[in-house]
């Protein structure tokens, strides 16, 4: 599983705290990554103890783990709604006086298209993170999922927006990462992102872009696991 530093104990505290929010009968969005995996395992244990919920996974990885721990699964097109989504993030803006407070960069695991679909469909979206994810302003590269034929055209459009795009390479295969949706990922460096909302709008407007990893105004809270507890940010 891809990880991005941060202590596993802190990730576990965040994930397990978020799982405590789940009530009987909930439909739960199951995010992707090493932090959310702790929440998924905690949900599996709660199901063993009698909790009755259904999960909607955001990726192949989340689905496999959910099945392994015994979470009954459903799909977005067969439910009336999602009560709670729990998902990780690669960066979280933690600057209460900034308009971007709570904005995220996601997609380190190339799952951001389905994650955004599920996280935005939820009545409540809780981010789970360790302190290494918190930042005053977004500076990390933005993952952009593109149709396979579109990667060079989109890279040119991203350059016009001031970004330098790199096709994400697979680690254990020659060639690019192919997403769960059969697409490719461009990781795009913009330097410091002062207006994530504006950039998100421009990225969404590019033909060939399936989804990008800027999540602005989507999260309702972030649970930050620390050395000895969980700090909660509410937005
Ligand atoms: O966006 C994601 C996958 O596309 C993950 O949620 C993000 O990369 C965080 O992962 P981790 O909890 O392993 O640090």
Its ipTM equals 0.99
Domain range 142-210, CATH class: alpha beta
Q: In this predicted structure, what is the pLDDT of residue 4?
A: 59
Domain ranges of the chain: 8-136+216-234, 142-210
Which pTM does this prediction carry? 0.96
**Fold: same for 8-136+216-234 and 142-210:** no
- Give the list of residues 6+ apart from residue 107 with CB closer than 8 angstroms, or none: 90, 115, 142, 143, 145, 185, 212, 213
**Residues enclosing ligand 1, CB less than 6 A?**
2-4, 31-35, 87-90, 106-112, 115
**Is residue 162 part of an annotated ligand binding site?**
no
Measured by CA distance, the residue closest to atom 10 of ligand 1 is: 33
Q: In this predicted structure, what is the pLDDT of residue 142?
A: 98
Residue 31 and residue 129: Cα distance in Å, rounded? 12
- Please report, in tens digits, the pLDDT of each residue of the chain (235 residues total): 455 567 999 999 999 999 999 999 999 999 999 999 999 999 999 999 999 999 999 999 999 999 999 999 999 999 999 999 999 999 999 999 999 999 999 999 999 999 999 999 999 999 999 999 999 999 999 999 999 999 999 999 999 999 999 999 999 999 999 999 999 999 999 999 999 999 999 999 999 999 999 999 999 999 999 989 999 999 9
Q: In this predicted structure, what is the pLDDT of residue 73?
A: 98
The CATH number assigned to the domain with range 8-136+216-234 reads 3.40.50.1360
Cβ burial of 72 (10 Å; 0-12, 13-18, 19+) is exposed
Choosing from 10, 38, 88, 135 the residue with most ligand 1 atoms within 8 A of its CB, the one to mutate for a pocket test is 88
**Is residue 3 part of an annotated ligand binding site?**
no
């Amino acid at each position: 599983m891809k990880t991005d530093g941060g202590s596993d104990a802190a990730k576990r505290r965040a994930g397990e705290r978020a799982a405590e929010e789940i009530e009987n009968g909930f439909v739960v969005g199951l995010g992707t990554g090493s932090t959310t995996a702790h929440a998924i395992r905690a949900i599996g244990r709660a199901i063993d103890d009698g909790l009755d919920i259904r999960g909607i996974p955001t990726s192949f990885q989340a689905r496999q783990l959910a099945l392994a721990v015994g979470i009954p699964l459903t799909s977005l097109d067969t439910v009336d709604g999602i009560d709670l989504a729990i998902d990780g993030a690669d960066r979280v803006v933690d600057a209460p006086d900034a308009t971007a407070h709570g904005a995220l960069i996601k997609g380190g695991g190339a799952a951001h298209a389905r994650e955004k679909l599920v996280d935005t469909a939820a009545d409540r979206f809780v981010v789970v993170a360790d302190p290494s994810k918190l930042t005053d302003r977004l500076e990390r590269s933005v993952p952009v999922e593109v149709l396979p034929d579109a990667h060079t055209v989109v890279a040119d459009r991203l350059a016009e927006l001031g970004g330098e795009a790199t096709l994400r390479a697979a680690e254990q295969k020659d060639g690019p990462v192919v997403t769960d949706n059969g697409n490719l990922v461009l990781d795009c460096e913009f330097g410091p992102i002062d207006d994530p909302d504006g950039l998100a709008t421009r990225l969404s407007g590019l033909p060939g872009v399936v989804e990008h990893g800027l999540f602005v105004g989507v999260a309702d809270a972030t649970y930050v696991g620390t050395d000895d507890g969980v700090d909660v940010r509410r937005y």
